[in-house]
Amino acid sequence: MQVAQAETLRPCDDLRAIIDGLSDALIVVGIDQRIEHANRVAQQRSGRDESIVGQLCHAVFQCSRPCESPDCECLMPTVLATGEPVRLTHRRADAETGETRYIDVVASPMQDSAGVISAVIEVMRDVTEERQLEEALVRRHEQLSILNAISNTVNQSLDLRDILGRALDEVLRLTGVDIGAIFLREETLGNLELFAHRGLSEEAARMAAQFGMLDSSCGGVIDKKQVVVVPNLSRYRGRRARSLRRERLSTLVHVPLVAKGAALGSMCVGTRTQREFDPTEQALLTAIGNQIAVAIDNARLYAEVQHKEFMRCELLKKVITAQEEERKRIARELHDDTSQALTALLYAAEEAMEVRKLAEVRLLLKNMRTLAQRTLDGVHKVIFDLRPTMLDHLGLIPAVRWLAESRLQPAGMRVTIVEAGNHRDPGAASAKPRRLPPEVETCLFRVVQEAISNIARHALARNVQISLNLDEDLAEVTISDDGIGFDVVALSLSPDSGRGLGLMGMRERVMLLGGEMEIDTAPGYGTRITVTVPTHETRRTHA
């Protein structure tokens, strides 16, 4: 009989071993909601040393009262009512860490021999990691959708204000904030300028445009290139903070707009209810800010290209006009000076042929010689303006010296020419200056010519210095004066300014040879123009 009983109990022991070997928690709960059986995992997860059998199931798993919706709905009533298995996910707080845990629960009915439900088997699996991964994927999908929407929006236009307005509309719609404003840093002075806003009253917008939305925060975000959160506006005092509080704003977030490592400005968003912007939300706003910054950079580049193309067309018109004016001037000078002088010379020669007295002939010949010399000087001037032969015969430095002294000294300016660099040919017995390639000499001479012309007409300078540093690989020319200076940006943006087009023409000449031109000036501080040009053709080709 004992052997028979042992044989009967062995399947029960085997089943118990199988149940205890499960990686999921398993409990059998009676109709009275007390645990009738629990496997090893269920006992471990309860965190109790004493057996949980006989205990109320909700008390064992950290519930002060029977399970209820929505976080921990009890499955037993549904199982008893339907007689079918039920599956739900419970959300519980970990007793030690307080971290939210997600437990997948499957409850199935147990029936006695009469077919009556006598208990419920519950299998519980911790799916916290799966749920967190799922939620992370959902959040990432939402973030990518937001970034995609922002990208599509800002790429629909190249008009800067239109881009920023559309971007703010999408930011408010997709992130749930109540207000938004975008400030851009001025390229010249570096001040913040309000370019677009949404959700603000006109008064608040005027205040923001004048003072910024808490300047210290805006300045901090631009200087540090990091998100700055103002969690509670009520702690701030002052006129600006009061203006923002009148908008019923509670939380502000300042986001840097960074493109190619440079902070172009900041985006400020705010909510009228207290809101914590966690690191994930801050990272999303940073990514949005980066996309907007790229769009700003593209719009500015497009505007710059458009402006350069416009200026190029204007320059071409000016060049054509200048050519025609130069031809008219040459024709006028030849007619007014050379032609009349030659006519007078012809009349004088005819008169000399009729004169019989030697003294009168000598006087006429002397006058003819003076007139011929004056005519020759005029022709030489016309020729030099067209193409300075001194540049061809003697080189850049003598030509620049003659040009500067002949044009500036008569106007009362003190001219200093400084020579530097290894521009002498060591192989020549007479230490003859080494000549630069013709295109380099012509470019530098024309740049100096334009600079001297501008100084003579506009600078009101007393002293002018021209430094020429001519080496084997690089030629550098600096023209500086102590005149009244000028505003480079304002002049370059004025399409009708002949002086601005002249500067652009200088820059174009230098760039065609792979060189660079820098203008250092400001109203009241004089001007220094520095031009560097590679002297070797291979360097100019690959510049």
Phi and psi at residue 526, in whole multiples of 5°?
A: 75, -175
Encoded tokens for 172: 């408010």
Instruction: Tell me, yes or no, if the pTM score tops 0.85.
Output: no
Q: Is the peptide bond before 70 cis (omega within 30 degrees of 0)?
A: yes
Residues ≥6 apart with Cβ < 8 Å to 20? 39, 40, 41
Q: How far is residue 452's CA from residue 382's CA, in Å, rounded to a whole number? A: 18
CATH class of the 388-541 domain in this structure = alpha beta
pLDDT of residue 119: 92
421-475, pLDDT tens digit by residue?
765 555 544 556 678 888 899 889 989 999 999 999 999 999 999 999 988 889 9
Q: Which of 132-136, 336-340, 476-480 has the lowest mean pLDDT?
A: 336-340
Cα Dmax for the chain: 176
Of 148 and 214, more confident: 148
pLDDT of residue 248: 82
Please state which CATH number belongs to domain 134-288.
3.30.450.40
Q: Is the dihedral of CA 60, 64, 67, 72 positive or negative?
A: negative
306-327, pLDDT tens digit by residue?
888 887 777 777 776 766 677 7
Residue 150 carries which side chain, given as an amino acid letter? I
pLDDT of residue 4: 44
Burial of 63 (0-12, 13-18, 19+ CB in 10 A): middle
Using alpha carbons only, give the angle 444, 445, 449 rounded to the nearest 5 degrees.
Answer: 120
Q: Are 535 and 471 in contact (CB under 8 A)?
A: yes
| Pairing state between β 179-185 and 192-198 | antiparallel
8-63, pLDDT tens digit by residue?
445 556 777 888 888 889 999 998 889 899 998 888 888 888 888 888 887 777 55
Q: How far is residue 9's CA from residue 423's CA, in Å, rounded to a whole number? A: 111
Q: What is the mean pLDDT of the chain?
A: 80
CATH class of the 2-126 domain in this structure = alpha beta
The domain locations on the chain are 2-126, 134-288, 388-541
The percent of residues above 70 in pLDDT, for the chain, comes to 80
Q: How far is residue 437's CA from residue 537's CA, in Å, rounded to a whole number? A: 9
- Domains 134-288 and 388-541 in one fold: no
Helix (H) or strand (E) holding 530: strand 527-534
Using alpha carbons only, give the angle 319, 321, 325 rounded to the nearest 5 degrees.
Answer: 115
CA Rg value for the chain = 45
CA of 78: how far to CAs of 73, 81, 107, 108, 109, in Å? Answer: 10, 5, 9, 10, 10
Among all chains, which residue has been given the structure tokens 């007078």? 344
Is the pLDDT at 3 greater than 50, yes or no? Answer: no
Q: Which of 9-18, 226-235, 363-372, 498-507 has the lowest mean pLDDT?
A: 9-18
